[in-house]
């Protein structure tokens, strides 16, 4: 029987028939739906890429660890000239604050003048300040003069300085100096100490307190007063109100 079947197959092969034919209809896709479904899913658009949220960048504290800050005014002045964390490691061209502890008035500016070297506010801005102090019945030696930044910086990045908590260092400096009153020249510095610069046009709102006990006056920058003489008259009126209050 096997030989007969093989002979029959050989006969059909020699006749050119090498496939099996069937008249009955057959669904060739039957049983293949899962594959078709998978193919359809593969054609769907990929999910939108959502980049991972980067971790928050920790801004170094200006001046380093507050626990290591000097606790007396004399040590602070020496530290101000040498501490690398005050200015990204730069220590050249720094100018120390000057004056006495417990002064009747502390003057705080944003940074030293361009020509300052051994003495803070030794140029034109310093001469204008001397005139303001004289009108108040004071000399520069009777006041305490300080800057928020250790060296002359024409265009400081105040947003970065705020992020570096410069305000904490300023408050520490003021606490060590322990003045009776404080004048802050420049809106950037006064804003770090709690004053809203948007209120500077209203003389009554130029007055505020630093901490609980130190009355403060927010004044335009000394460079602004030099460029706009009318500002000097407005400052004089504010000083009269402040001293009389």
**What residues contact 113, with CB distance under 8 A and at least 6 apart?**
121, 122, 123, 124, 125, 126, 152
Given a contact cutoff of 8 angstroms between Cβ atoms, the answer to whether 217 and 182 are in contact is yes
pLDDT of res. 25 = 72
pTM of the model: 0.75
Eight-class DSSP state of 220:
-
CATH class belonging to 66-244: alpha beta
Residue 209 β-bridge partners: 215
pLDDT of res. 197 = 63
Give 201-235 pLDDT, tens digit per residue: 555 568 888 987 899 999 999 999 999 888 888 88
Kindly list the domain boundaries of the chain, sorted by start residue.
Answer: 66-244
Task: Indicate the SS3 state at residue 158.
Answer: helix
Given a contact cutoff of 8 angstroms between Cβ atoms, the answer to whether 155 and 163 are in contact is no
Neighbour count for residue 73 (Cβ, 10 Å): 18
pLDDT of res. 164 = 95
Given a contact cutoff of 8 angstroms between Cβ atoms, the answer to whether 109 and 222 are in contact is yes
Main-chain phi, psi angles of 217, to 5 degrees = -125, 125
pLDDT of res. 205 = 64
- CA 70/CA 76 separation, integer angstroms: 5
Q: Which residues of the chain have pLDDT under 70?
A: 18, 20-23, 26, 28-43, 197-205, 245
pLDDT of res. 195 = 85
- CA 149/CA 94 separation, integer angstroms: 9
pLDDT of res. 37 = 53
């Amino acid at each position: 029987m096997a030989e007969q079947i093989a002979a029959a197959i050989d006969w059909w092969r020699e006749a050119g028939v090498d496939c099996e034919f069937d008249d009955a209809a057959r669904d060739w896709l039957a049983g293949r739906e899962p594959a078709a479904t998978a193919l359809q899913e593969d054609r769907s658009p990929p999910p939108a890429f959502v980049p991972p949220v980067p971790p928050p960048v920790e801004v170094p504290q200006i001046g380093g660890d507050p626990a290591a800050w000097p606790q007396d005014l004399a040590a602070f002045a020496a530290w101000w000239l040498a501490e690398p964390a005050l200015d990204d490691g730069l220590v050249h061209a720094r100018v120390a604050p000057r004056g006495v502890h417990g002064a009747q008035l502390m003057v705080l500016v944003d940074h030293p003048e361009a020509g300052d070297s051994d003495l803070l506010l030794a140029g034109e801005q310093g001469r204008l300040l001397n005139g303001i102090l004289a009108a108040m019945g004071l000399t520069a030696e009777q006041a305490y003069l300080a800057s928020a930044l250790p060296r002359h910086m024409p265009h400081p990045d105040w947003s970065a300085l705020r992020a570096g908590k410069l305000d904490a260092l300023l408050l520490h400096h003021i606490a060590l100096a322990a003045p009776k009153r404080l004048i802050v020249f420049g809106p950037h510095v006064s804003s770090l100490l709690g004053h809203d610069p948007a209120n500077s046009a209203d003389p009554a709102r130029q007055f505020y307190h630093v901490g609980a006990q130190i009355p403060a006056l927010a004044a335009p920058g000394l460079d602004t007063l030099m460029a706009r003489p009318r500002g000097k008259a407005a400052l004089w009126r504010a000083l009269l109100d402040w001293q009389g209050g």
